[in-house]
Structure 1
Amino acid sequence: MSATALSLVLTAAVLHAVWNIAAKRVGGGSYAFVFSYSLLSALLWSPLGIAVLLVSGDGLTRTLLLASLLSGALHIVYGLTLQTGYRKADLSVVYPVARGTGPLITMLFAIVVLADRPGAVAVAGGFVIVAGVAVVASARSADAPQLHAAPAWRGVRWGAATGLAIAAYTLWDDHAMTHLALLPIPYFWLGTAWQAGLMVPGLRGRRAELRYVLRAHWRETLCVALLSPLAYVLVLQAMTTTSVALVAPARESSIVVGSLLAWKLFHEPAPARKFAGAVVVLAGIALIAV
């Protein structure tokens, strides 16, 4: 992985951790929250998306519209699953499990089905990152006896479900970038627009929920609307020059930042073990960068 691609992915990782902290703060109103930040993202990114289309001369092709439609649908599944997990369990369980399951599935699929052939050291780095994620995710009961097994396992289940969604949209978006050769910014902008549009019918009967989110959590909505697209566009840009089997694990370094922020802001337990997991994750990133 080149230094440029690695810097893009690591910047995206920090932004990703920050907006997940904001999402965790929301609690209730999952559907309205996902709709609100999707719509706001589409509006905020529309000038740049349109400008890139005009400058490039590509226009709104059928391929771009259909590919971004599928991406938007997959991101709806991801957003709703993630918010449900955050509502029912700790971020320090859901986040690492989700970010660990996603790259593992993505890497295996990319190697077996897409015929990606990263070097042996880079592949080892991917698995080292996943191992580091596992260390962070397991940093619990010794420092938090008040947390029972059932809530923890509920977080693992929702985290794994979110990981499956992550793998699905990562693989499709990689296909859109590398094989369909779509421009990242218009593609993501249209994806968020589709995401908001597809969710409109589901708002029926949720007016009170929508008002609550806009009144009580407008800061969190703005944070996710700004940082989530920016983080993912950086990842999409990295995918244009680097194998998805390398990008997917490296971006999961966000688990280090996210876990430490969760401990600092939400007083979640076991900081020492999470620091140990961070060291393992960073070692994996170093292997990928070789």
Structure 2
Amino acid sequence: MTLTVFFAVLAAAAMHAAWNALIKMRGDRFASISLTSLGMSLAALPVIPFVEFPGAAVWPFITASLAIHIGYRLFLVMAYEAGDLAQTYPLARGAAPLMTTVGAIFLLAELPTPLAILGIVLLSTGTLLMSFRGGVGLGRLDRRAVGFALTTSIFVAGYTLTDGSGARLAATASSYAAWLFLCDGLVSMAIGFYYRGRRLLPIMKTEWHIGVLTGLLSAASYWIAMWAMTKAPIASVAALRETSILFAMLISVLALREKMTGWRVAAALCIVAGVVALRLG
């Protein structure tokens, strides 16, 4: 992984933590995450005229990703409803790199270097430690929150492998990302209106600016990740992206007033060690 890709993924991680924190702070998270998807579509619109239309071989990946993202957003919202950001976010993200690594090995025949595998394990260990020992009521986990968060991680691994493969197959990562974001926003809003009907309109009117902001952050973050997966091993990029846990920890402590503990510090150090191993690997 080059230095450019490395720092680009770190920037993407910071943006990912920021938009997740904004969703967590909203009163109606289902509506907020629907607006985020719409914001991603709006971010993609100016790019569409300048990228190639995906070929026939690429659309199955986009279609599969759309379906996986629906499940991801559904369980992410339920996880945030059941637990605090410092606990559910690391758990949802922490297990995904290990799943992605296994998937990349068996589905894509992409085997990371031994040092990269060590980095992936350290990152995953740190994020899981932060979740199991870093949340409210040290060590006590809401079973519903755990179930929703772990299910979310399965969807994360699924769309990471799907989109990494699709972006590599497309003419460019930008082409894949732009058309994925455009379609995803339309699908998400259709689902939102199906479940909420006209009740979604007042929320859109009052919180459209939040949706635009979170959409831009989400689109930029994931576009960088997909581009990076065309330049480096998917598993390594997926693991490095989970440094967003560190940014989420800072946000949870500084903005959400969640408690800083020794366990969080230990988990953060473990994540940093994983980052170093990934960079050297």
Q: Distance in 1 between matches of 2:29 and 2:269?
A: 36
Partner of 1:17: 17
Return 252-261 or 153-162, whichever deviates more: 153-162
CA contact (8 A) 1:130 1:249 kept: yes
2:180 counterpart letter in structure 1: G
Partner of 2:248: 258
Return 193-202 or 245-254, whichever deviates more: 193-202
CA contact (8 A) 2:163 2:226 kept: yes
Partner of 2:187: 198
CA contact (8 A) 2:40 2:181 kept: yes
Q: Unaligned 5+ residue runs, structure 2? A: none
CA contact (8 A) 2:9 2:241 kept: yes
Poorly superposed stretches of 4+, deviation over 6 Å: none
> 1:245 aligned to 210, 215, 235, which one?
235
**Distance change (3 Å), C-alpha of 1:249 and 1:148:** closer
Q: Distance in 2 between matches of 1:102 and 1:130?
A: 8
> 1:220 aligned to 203, 210, 213, which one?
210
CA contact (8 A) 2:44 2:178 kept: yes
Partner of 2:113: 119
Query: Within 5 A, what are the aligned runs for 1:1-290?
Result: 1-30=1-30, 32-53=31-52, 59-140=53-134, 144-145=136-137, 149=140, 152-178=142-168, 180-199=169-188, 200=190, 203-204=193-194, 206-290=196-280
CA contact (8 A) 1:81 1:162 kept: yes
Partner of 1:56: none
Q: Distance in 1 between matches of 2:10 and 2:276?
A: 12
Deviation digits for residues 115-136 of structure 1 (CA, Å, limit 9, x no counterpart): 1121111111110111111221
Q: Distance in 2 between matches of 1:171 and 1:188?
A: 14
1:45 counterpart letter in structure 2: A
**Distance change (3 Å), C-alpha of 1:193 and 1:131:** same
Q: How many residues align?
A: 279
SS in 1 for 2:64: helix
Normalization by structure 1: what TM-score?
0.88
Q: Distance in 2 between matches of 1:210 and 1:197?
A: 15
CA contact (8 A) 1:15 1:227 kept: yes
Deviation digits for residues 16-70 of structure 1 (CA, Å, limit 9, x no counterpart): 010111110123250x3333222232122111132133xxxxx343234443222
Could you say what the CA RMSD is over the residues aligned between the two structures, in angstroms?
2.1
Normalization by structure 2: what TM-score?
0.91
**Distance change (3 Å), C-alpha of 1:11 and 1:194:** same
Deviation of 1:106 after TM superposition, in Å, equals 0.4
Deviation of 1:208 after TM superposition, in Å, equals 4.5
